[in-house]
Amino acid sequence: MTTAVGGKERLAQVVPDAIAAIHDVLKRHDVRENEWMAVLQFLTDVGRADEFILLSDVTRTSVLIDALSHGDEDAATASDVEGPMYEEDPPWREAPVKIYEEYDGSENGEVLFVRGKVTSTDGTPLPDAVLDVWQTGPDGGYDLWDERQPKGNFRGRFNPVGESGDYEFRTMLPKPYTVPTDGPVGRYLEAIGQHPWRPAHIHFKVTASGYTPLVTQVFFAGDPYLENDTIGAVKDSLVRSPDRHDDPTAMRERGLDEPFLTCDFDIRLPPAG
Ligand code: BEZ
Ligand code: FE
C-alpha cells in the first residue's frame, strides 16, 4: 500500500478505525466463512474488471468523498463526482465548438447549445481556462461502448472565446442511461435490488492557472431520475431547464433547419489553495 497521499500518521489514524468498523458489522450480522469468502471473491472480481470507481460510485461513497473534499463555498460552482467515463486525451475542439459527429442515432436527439462564462469567484473572467466536457449521446450511450459512435464522440476540450471568459459548445441533449451492468458491480446492484439508472447529465472538468480545478455535472429539469440517481450525485444548483427555440430566423442563424435548445451554465472557480 502506498502512503504517498496521507503519510504513515494518517494511515495509523484511519486504518484501525476502518478495520474496527468492518469487524463490528461482521460480528453484528454473524457473518460466516462462506459469506466472507464470497465477499473476497466479489472484491477480487471488481479489481479484475477494473470496476472499483464504479463500486465507489454506486455505493455513493464517491458522493460522500466529494462532499468531504469540497467546501460549500456559495460563490463557487458546486463540484460533483467525476465517474469512470472520463478519457485522458479528448479531442481538442476549435470555435465554434461542436463535440459530436452525426451518426446513425443522432436523429433521435435534439441539438443543444450549452453556454456560459468562466470566471473566478470574484467575477474576474478566465479566458485561458480549459474546459473538458463528456456525455452520452441522445440514445444514452458513451462512445466507449456505443459502436455507432467514433471514438471521442460527445467529448471535447476547448477554451472560452475572447477575453470575456464566455464559452459555448454545440451538443445534443443527453438521455438517462444505466451504468455498466455486465460486470461484478452489475451483479451486486441486481443482488441488492438497486436500479442502475442515472439521470441525463453532461460532465465538466475545468482548469485555469492559479485556480482550484472544478469537476462537476449539469442535469436537466424534469428528468425521471433526478430524485433517485443510482450514484446519488444530483445537486439542485446543477439542474438546468433548457430553453427551446423554434423561430425560423433563430434556426437559420444557427445554420439549422430544426428547433434547438440552449442551456446557460456559468462556471466560477475559487482561487487555488
Ligand atoms: C457517469 O456519469 O459517467 C458514471 C458515473 C458513475 C458510474 C458510471 C458512470
Ligand atoms: Fe456520465
Span of 27-41, 98-112, 120-134, 169-183 with lowest mean pLDDT: 98-112
- Check if 198 has its Cβ closer than 6 Å to any atom of ligand 1: yes
Predicted local confidence at residue 223, as pLDDT:
97
Share of the chain above pLDDT 90, in %: 91
User: Is the C-beta atom of 83 inside 6 A of ligand 1?
Assistant: yes
Please tell me the distance from the alpha carbon of residue 104 to that of residue 122, in angstroms, as a whole number: 44
Averaged pLDDT for residues 161-178: 96
For range 218-244, the mean pLDDT: 97
Any atom of ligand 1 within 6 Å of the Cβ of 85: yes
Question: Distance between CA 160 and CA 260 in Å, rounded?
Answer: 22
pLDDT single digits (tens) 21-32: 999 999 999 999
User: What is the whole-number distance in angstroms between the Cα of residue 247 and the centre of ligand 1?
Assistant: 35
Reported as a single tens digit per residue, the pLDDT across 78-119 is 999 999 999 999 999 999 999 999 888 888 899 999 999 999
**pLDDT per residue as tens digits for the range 47-88:** 999 999 999 999 999 999 999 998 766 789 999 999 999 999
Rounded-to-integer distance, Cα 205 and Cα 113, Å: 18
Ligand 1 pocket test, pick from 55, 57, 181 with the greatest ligand atom count within 8 Å of Cβ, gives 57
Q: Given phi > 0 = left and psi -120 to 50 = alpha, else beta, which region is 65? A: alpha
Residue nearest to atom 4 of ligand 1 (CA): 83
Model confidence, pTM: 0.93
Cell numbers describing residue 11: 494511515
What pLDDT is recorded for position 115? 98
Distance 83 CA to ligand 1 centre (A): 4
Is the shortest distance between the CB of 179 and ligand 1 below 6 Å? yes
What is the average pLDDT value for the chain, to the nearest integer? 95
Judge if the beta carbon of residue 172 lies within 6 A of ligand 1: no
HEC-encoded secondary structure of the chain:
CCCCCCHHHHHHHHHHHHHHHHHHHHHHCCCCHHHHHHHHHHHHHHHHCCCHHHHHHHCCHHHHHHHHHCCCCCCCCCCCCCCCCCCCCCCECCCCEECCCCCCCHHHCCEEEEEEEEEECCCCECCCCEEEEEECCCCCCCCCCCCCCCCCCCEEEECCECCCCEEEEEEECCCCEECCCCCHHHHHHHHHCCCCEECCEEEEEEECCCECCEEEEEEECCCCCCCCCCCCCCCHHHEECCEEECCHHHHHHCCCCCCEEEEECCEEECECC
Residue with cell 450480522: 29
Is the CB of residue 84 below 6 angstroms from any atom belonging to ligand 1?
yes
Place of cell 466536457: 133
- For residue 231 and ligand 1, the question of a CB distance below 6 A is answered with yes
Atom of ligand 1 nearest to the CA of 62: 6
Among 54, 146, 194, say which to mutate for ligand 1: greatest number of ligand atoms within 8 Å of CB. 54
**CB contact at 8 A, 203 and 157:** no
Q: Whose CA is nearest to atom 6 of ligand 1?
A: 83
Cα 54 from Cα 185, distance rounded (Å): 7
Q: Specify the pLDDT at position 2.
A: 47
